[in-house]
Amino acid sequence: MKRKMREGNRYFTMLHYLLAAVVIFITVYPMYYVLILSLSEPIHAATMKVYIWPKGFNLSAYQVLVSDIKMWRAYANTILYVIPTTILMIVTSTLVAYGLNYRKLVGRKFLTMFLLIPMYFTGGIIPSFLLIVKLGLYDNPLSQILPASFSIWNIILVKAYFRTIPDSLTEAAKMDGAGMYQILTKIFVPLGKPIFAVLAVYTIVGTWNSWFNAMLYLPHTQWQPLQMYLRRILVETNQNASQVMDAAAAMEFARRQLSNAQLKYAMIIFTTLPVLCTYPFFQKYFVKGMVLGSLKE
């Protein structure tokens, strides 16, 4: 008699473990591959013929990064953008969502629709660039903070999460004499930690990986973030081999190209680690916030 695949069945469990192992491998191995390339000798890193273990253990790329002042300046710029952007994102999303969650708010449906329209239809790059210039934010670090501190999608997430908080708590607080501000700070904010964690993770990862706005609005390297520095290493260090004129210059060009290949992989690891280390601190609230914040009204 054919046994049914059901929960608790040994074969069912084995199949789940096998699928989980495949998913873990597909997710983790690319990052591991870049890591072992960054730790291999430059010649092996350039040919990319490294699959399981580093070939010729070499830390020269990391030594170059640690001693690079420009890289640390870009690192500091990124942290400067991540922290205030994350705080402002949580504050703006909470305040707007709290207001839209108030049932007696005049024009609440109109305001909600007014916010939804720009989420699907935007002006484009040129109007955004002109707006940044007119506001005096061009070549200004605030151009990386203020535009990224407001998200309609995040407002919708917070609003949906606030709808899951029982109205009885709000009514009880009103009976005790609490005003709108007290209800926000004493009830919604403490109970909103899971959705705030979701917003924090989204904002931190998005801001940390952002480089396009910096390319548009920050022409000088003084305020450019880490991802722009990485882009210069990955793209702008490429040289045309036809420019090499003599044998000595050709050998120096080849050596530099090998070193650049290893340096690219080391830079990817160096710029990704902070984000990877951040997630475990928010994981406790992240799953709960994603589930509750996705409920429909």
Collapsed DSSP state (helix, strand, coil) of residue 52:
coil
Half-sphere exposure of 134 (CA within 13 A, CB side): 6
Report, as an integer, the average pLDDT of 151-161.
Answer: 88
Contact 89, 154 (CB under 8 A): yes
In whole angstroms, what is the distance from residue 218 CA to residue 224 CA?
6
Instruction: Please give the Cα distance from 64 to 45 (Å, whole number).
Output: 16
Better pLDDT: 252 or 204: 204
The stretch 241-259 carries a mean pLDDT of 50
Which of 121-135, 201-215, 272-286 is least confident?
272-286
Amino acid at 97: A
Residues near 158 by beta carbon (within 8 Å), at least 6 away in sequence: 93, 94, 97, 192, 195, 199, 293
d(CA 47, CA 261): 9
DSSP one-letter code for 4: P
Q: What is the pTM of this model?
A: 0.77
Residue 239 has pLDDT above 50, yes or no: no
pLDDT for 89-122, tens place per residue?
999 999 999 888 887 777 778 888 888 888 787 7
What integer pLDDT is reported at residue 43 of this predicted model? Answer: 75
Percent of the chain residues past pLDDT 70, beyond the cut:
82
Q: State yes or no: pLDDT of 1 exceeds 70.
A: no
Confidence of residue 37 (pLDDT cuts 50, 70, 90): confident
The C-alpha atoms of residue 147 and residue 131 are separated, in whole angstroms, by 10
| C-beta separation of 73 from 224 below 8 A | no
Token digits for 187? 């009830």
Please check whether residue 260 is in contact with residue 233, taking contact to mean a CB–CB distance below 8 angstroms: yes
Digit-coded pLDDT (tens) for 39-85: 887 777 777 788 888 887 878 778 877 887 888 898 899 999 999 99
Mean pLDDT calculated for residue range 141-145: 91
Query: Looking at residues 17-46, what average pLDDT do you find?
Result: 85
Is the per-residue pLDDT at 2 higher than 60? no
Q: Rounded to the nearest 5 degrees, what angle is found at the Cα of 156, between the Cα atoms of 152 and 161?
A: 150
Residue type, 25: F
